[in-house]
């Protein structure tokens, strides 16, 4: 019998595994793919300070990101730079591999090519079945990303909000600032992005969209818009990977002998869908709570509840503000977005952004924008719609 079985070998599962095995608990991690870190669906943009904060090396870092350009539906452009390195872009595959190596060194038994098909929880433990057999453990950590079929089996809910995504890394001849593109012809209800990536001997751009429907179609629309400027050849370009993106937490992230972390818990920024930071943060919180509970041999829901209290204390205010803004964004017309761009270009909005914007925390910016009367008028019009 293992102490812990973790379902999913992304950042959340690997980071939690390393901490739990490091604390002396027998830990098995199941990853459905043959190789941890493959295939990559993610753009890999992280707050600049995140690697240090979680004690990770800089080895997977590819380049710094210092400025962003926002494009309106009609093609108006606003540039933002704080003059600092706000974010970095990592090689997501290398990032996950490094986490996996740390997990293995800490003593985690990482089983790749092992998909968890069922989870059964009883009064003495958890049984997870894969195609090659059963694993019995005292507790299960659900770290399976944005895949929610196991949630139904164990009675956990789903995130309330999703968007569709399509993303891929393409060779590029000219790198620019990060670009964010808005409007119904590029990414209805969401946005499209281009992120410069500097690989040794090869410049690339990660191009993606998050939108309400037809992500592959809108990906093509965005690529057509930017191909010339970035020197992207579309002829033999690989097709994007498509995936759903959860935008908000599930209603309850723990139960008897069960904790959900990272995307499996819906812990993703509702504004942008970024979740690597939260996956590491929730993994750290969960492993602390689980260590105490395992030592006390009490894995009841009551004993695991401090995990959810912990992430809610840190994030509930953020999620609330960001979810409000996301709902407003879902209702905004192209004309609304053009008006916001006009204000950003002419009416003192950018100083507010410079004063309050932070890569991981958007609440302060959202509240400050709501105090700016013309912006407030546009946002509230859609909130009340």
Ligand X SMILES: Cc1cc2nc3c(=O)[nH]c(=O)nc-3n(C[C@H](O)[C@H](O)[C@H](O)COP(=O)(O)OP(=O)(O)OC[C@H]3O[C@@H](n4cnc5c(N)ncnc54)[C@H](O)[C@@H]3O)c2cc1C
Please give the residue ranges that form the binding site for ligand X (CB under 6 A): 7-13, 30-33, 41-46, 115-116, 143-145, 147, 150, 165, 167, 208, 243, 245, 262-264, 268, 273-277, 279
Q: Which is nearer to ligand X, 253 or 279 (CB)?
A: 279
Rounded to a whole number of angstroms, the minimum distance from the CB of residue 187 to ligand X is 12
Least CB distance from residue 378 to ligand X, whole Å?
Answer: 27
b/e burial code for range 277-304 (CB count within 10 A of at least 16 → b): bbbbbbbbbbbbbbbebbeeeebeeebb
**Whose Cβ is closer to ligand X: residue 243's or residue 303's?**
243
Beta carbon nearer to ligand X, 54 or 368: 54
Toward ligand X, which CB reaches closer, 78 or 150?
150
Question: Nearer to ligand X by C-beta: 254 or 277?
Answer: 277
Q: Give the nearer residue to ligand X in terms of CB position, either 156 or 375.
A: 156
Q: How far is the CB of 272 from ligand X (least distance, A)?
A: 8
Tokens 């191009």 belong to which residue?
Answer: 207
CB of 297 to ligand X, least distance (A): 27
Sequence-distant (6+) residues with CB within 8 A of 72 are 78, 182, 183, 337, 338, 341
Min dist. Cβ of residue 295 to ligand X (A): 25
- Provide, rounded to whole angstroms, the least separation between the CB of residue 346 and ligand X: 31
Alpha carbon distances (Å) from 164 to 187, 213, 238, 244, 278 = 10, 6, 19, 5, 20
Q: How far is CA 135 from CA 119, 130, 253, 287, in A?
A: 10, 8, 22, 20
Q: Which distant-in-sequence residues (6+ apart) come within 8 Å of 4 by Cβ?
A: 17, 20, 25, 26, 27, 28, 137, 138, 139, 140, 141, 290, 294
The distance of closest approach from Cβ of residue 376 to ligand X in the complex, given in angstroms and rounded to an integer, is: 29
Buried b (16+ CB within 10 A) or exposed e, 131-160: eeeebebbbbbbbbbbbbebbeebebeebe
Of 145 and 340, the one with the shorter C-beta distance to ligand X is: 145
Nearer to ligand X, 10 or 375 (CB): 10
Q: Cβ 341 to ligand X, closest distance in Å?
A: 23
Q: Report DSSP letters for 26-82, one per residue.
A: -EEEEESSSSTT-S-----EEETTHHHHTT--STTEEEEE-EEEEE-TT--EEEEE-
- Helices then strands, each counted (H, E), the chain: 11, 18
């Amino acid at each position: 019998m293992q102490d812990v079985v973790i379902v999913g070998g992304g950042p959340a599962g690997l980071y939690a595994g390393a901490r739990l095995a490091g604390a002396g608990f027998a830990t098995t991690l199941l990853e459905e793919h043959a190789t941890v870190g493959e295939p990559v669906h993610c753009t890999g943009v992280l707050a600049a300070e995140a690697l240090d904060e979680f004690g990770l090396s800089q080895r997977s870092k590819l380049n710094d990101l210092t400025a962003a350009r926002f494009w309106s539906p009609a093609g108006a452009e606003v540039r933002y730079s704080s003059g600092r390195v706000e974010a970095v872009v990592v090689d997501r595959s290398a990032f996950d591999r490094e986490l996996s190596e740390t997990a293995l060194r800490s003593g985690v038994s990482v089983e790749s090519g092992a998909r968890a098909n069922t989870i059964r929880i009883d009064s003495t433990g958890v049984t997870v079945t894969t195609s090659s057999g059963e694993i019995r453990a005292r507790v299960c950590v659900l770290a399976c990303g944005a895949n929610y079929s196991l949630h139904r089996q164990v009675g956990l809910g789903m995130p309330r909000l999703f968007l569709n995504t399509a993303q891929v890394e393409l060779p590029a001849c000219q790198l620019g600032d990060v670009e964010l593109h808005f409007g119904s012809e590029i990414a209805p209800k969401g946005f499209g992005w281009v992120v410069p990536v500097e690989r040794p001997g090869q410049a690339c751009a990660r191009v993606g969209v998050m939108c309400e429907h037809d992500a592959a179609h809108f990906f093509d629309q965005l690529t057509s818009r930017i191909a010339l400027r970035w020197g992207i050849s579309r002829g033999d370009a690989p097709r994007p990977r498509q995936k759903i993106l959860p935008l908000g937490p599930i209603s309850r992230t723990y139960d008897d002998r069960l904790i959900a972390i990272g995307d499996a818990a819906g812990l993703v920024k509702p504004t942008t869908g970024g979740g690597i930071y939260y996956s590491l943060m929730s993994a750290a919180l969960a492993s602390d709570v689980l260590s105490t509970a395992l030592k006390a041999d009490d894995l009841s829901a009551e004993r695991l509840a401090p995990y959810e209290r912990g992430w809610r204390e840190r994030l509930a205010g953020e999620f609330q503000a960001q979810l409000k803004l996301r709902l407003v964004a879902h209702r905004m017309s192209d004309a609304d977005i053009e008006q916001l761009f006009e204000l950003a270009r002419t009416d003192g909005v950018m100083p507010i952004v410079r004063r309050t914007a932070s890569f991981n925390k958007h609440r302060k910016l959202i509240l400050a924008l709501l105090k700016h009367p013309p912006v407030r008028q546009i946002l509230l019009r859609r909130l009340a719609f």
